[in-house]
A = this chain, B = another copy of it.
Amino acid sequence: MAPAKSLAQQLGEKQREISVAEFFERNRQILGFDNPARALLTSVKEAIDNSLDACEEAGLLPELSVEVHKDGADRYRVIVEDNGPGIVRKQIPNVFARLLYGSRFHANRQSRGQQGIGISAAVLYAALTTARPAKITSKVEEEEAAHVVELFIDTQKNLPRIVREDVVLWDRPHGIRVELALKAKYQRGRQSPYEYLKDTAIVNPHARIVLTEPDGTRVTWERAATEMPPVPKEVLPHPYGLELGELSSRLKASSRPTVSDVLLHEFAGVTPRALKEILAAARIAPKTAPGSIHGEELEQLLSALHAAPLLPPSAEALSPIGPLLIKRGLRNVLGEVRPEFFAPPVSRPPKIRGGFPFLVEVGLVYGGGLPLDQPVQLLRFANRVPLLFQQGACAITTAVGGMDWRRYGLDQKGGAGIPTGPCVILVHLASTKIPFTSEAKEAIAEDEEIDREVTLALQAAARHLRIHLSRRTRRELAGEKFDVILKILPRLAAKTSALVGKPVPDLTPVITRIMDVVYVDPQPVATEEKKPATSRFTIDVTNYTPRPRVLELFLEMPPAEFPPSRVLPAPDGVEAPLGRAWWTLPRLEPSGRTRIELDFPSATEVDLDDLDLYVAGVDESHLLGADPLPGDWEVRLPRAIVEAAEAAAAAETADEAEVDYDGTETSSPLDEE
């Protein structure tokens, strides 16, 4: 008789391997298949993300079609088709019916898919809920016919199980068609396939996307750009943020003879000069065999690498959205809302975390028809993919909630959390490796470096918002003053004159005396034409002060949109790389006015708020509609101006102890952190 088994033995016998497919079948919520509505969206998303990646890798302008058909009370058929390069027959089963199988996991460059999980997860979910196989059609250019494969995932083995196979003619030269039957719920609105495709079209304007909804409605997002975005290049890992274990395995895995070779050729940013410093600091001989480094030596090498003055990370592996598309994208999302203010989009330089480059972009709009008393709308993107779920768990949300937005003019309870106000904030994180909180890739994990970069980008955008709001307030005040003075005063005078039987006196000196400001009034010029060749702006400067003024006007705008196609009069100075121009205005008598005209090609997306205006020659308390020149402008003022200004200042100081032009002006809304 065998001896009775001990408890530890009994427990030991229950131990067994869990197939990754089994694991995810049971934990499908981790992959974004929580419920029928989300499952439909996730299936579409995984297929589209793959198609966009494949088209871009192949240099093809994406042509994508999504069809959703109703097949029963809670069952739908989803068909996603692309014009990508196709997948060779041999790889079809692995790509579509095997979790953790893919081509992008080991490539250090920005792509939408990385895990090799997504589309197989959709196939898994479809089989789980409808017991039907996925039907894949693939045609590659060099073959005459297309392959059709119907398959399941064998969940216990995480391997494909093909149930039917065929070769058919397909009128496409190349492409993929994925057809899935799944338990689902179709809806428009928030967190829907419609919203996902709309947001995808915004940041992927080189793609044409057609959605056919279950009721037959067809929505087309036409291509807004016919140029491919620059294809991200694969780069070497950067030593900043590298962990000890990683360094150890990379050294051991390398076939190069010396540690110097490995550091120079298998890592980014290590120059020959930096290499010398690193090896000296770590006290390692340059010809040491890489595999022999361990223990204390390994730790010293890592410290030396982290401390060394390496080259900054390259942006080559990244594909940012860019300011123009961010702006166009926001305009697109907002449609009829017509915000009053578009902050110039912010794009931070690439940084490194854990050896992977990343960068952050931010867009911000304010006002117009946006709701006043709702939380700010947050649009999150990661590697050009909209993130529609798990906002509360995302590092982007944390960064937004961690700023005191009251400083920038938004309401925010307690100075923390999502602010309230008529505002939309877009944040894009681009990286060769996004730290998602789960395989569903809907939220970015908390990370100090990401948080810092997102915060800096948000602050830059928020500063523009604050300037806009304070300018708006001052303009409103000025407007009220004008109303009172220019409209009511003459009427008052007329009535009083009639009463006392005297003629109405000339009020101009009185009005000027009361106003006592230089008024700068930039305005877009409306046109009758539907598609005007240019968009025109005028800037009127009126001297409502009781003395003549010698003024300088300074214009600053996003360098990307600078210079205007036509400027009248021509500026006296231009600094194109900074998007700056300035004019010495003709001497303005009291009540005198002068005008500057700017034309932009209408393809550019210039807004009134892009034009930051500064005036020198009058002090802040006598200036409306523009700001005094900030201290960080280093302009070479023509000598004549300086002299005239100084003379005017001297005269005025004598007159009423007021300095209208202070050349040493330092406080400004722009020079704060």
Say whether B23 contacts A105, CB under 8 Å.
yes
Contact of A140 among B9, B34, B397 (CB under 8 A): B9
Say whether A437 contacts B435, CB under 8 Å.
no
A266 contacts B by Cβ under 8 Å: no
A477 contacts B by Cβ under 8 Å: no
A206 contacts B by Cβ under 8 Å: no
Contact of A448 among B35, B58, B437 (CB under 8 A): B35
Contact of A101 among B18, B30, B54 (CB under 8 A): B18
Q: Closest approach, in angstroms, between the C-beta of A507 and any C-beta of chain B?
A: 51
Residues of B within 8 Å of A58, CB to CB, are 7, 11
Q: Closest approach, in angstroms, between the C-beta of A402 and any C-beta of chain B?
A: 13
Say whether A438 contacts B30, CB under 8 Å.
yes
Contact of A413 among B54, B244, B397, B413 (CB under 8 A): B413
Question: A15 with B130: in contact, given A7-B58, A436-B30, A437-B29 (CB under 8 Å)?
Answer: no
Residues of B within 8 Å of A390, CB to CB, are 393, 437
- How long is the Cα–Cα vector from A438 to B140 in the complex, in angstroms? 37
Contact of A393 among B95, B248, B392 (CB under 8 A): B392
Say whether B23 contacts A443, CB under 8 Å.
no
Q: Closest approach, in angstroms, between the C-beta of A396 and any C-beta of chain B?
A: 12
Residues of B within 8 Å of A447, CB to CB, are 29, 34-35
Contact of A436 among B15, B17, B27 (CB under 8 A): B27
- How long is the Cα–Cα vector from A57 to B13 in the complex, in angstroms? 14
Question: A245 with B129: in contact, given A11-B57, A35-B446, A397-B392 (CB under 8 Å)?
Answer: yes
Question: A105 with B18: in contact, given A115-B23, A393-B443 (CB under 8 Å)?
Answer: yes
Question: A29 with B127: in contact, given A11-B85, A12-B91, A102-B18 (CB under 8 Å)?
Answer: no
A622 contacts B by Cβ under 8 Å: no
- How long is the Cα–Cα vector from A34 to B445 in the complex, in angstroms? 7
Say whether B141 contacts A7, CB under 8 Å.
yes
- How long is the Cα–Cα vector from A393 to B445 in the complex, in angstroms? 12
Question: A8 with B130: in contact, given A16-B103, A100-B17 (CB under 8 Å)?
Answer: no
Q: List 7 A-B contacts (CB under 8 A).
A: A8-B86, A8-B140, A18-B101, A23-B105, A30-B437, A183-B243, A392-B392
Cβ-closest 5 pairs across A and B: A392-B392, A393-B393, A438-B438, A29-B445, A128-B245
Sample of 11 further A-B pairs with CB below 8 A, known A8-B85, A17-B100, A17-B101: A8-B87, A8-B88, A16-B102, A16-B103, A23-B100, A29-B437, A34-B447, A128-B246, A130-B244, A390-B393, A437-B438
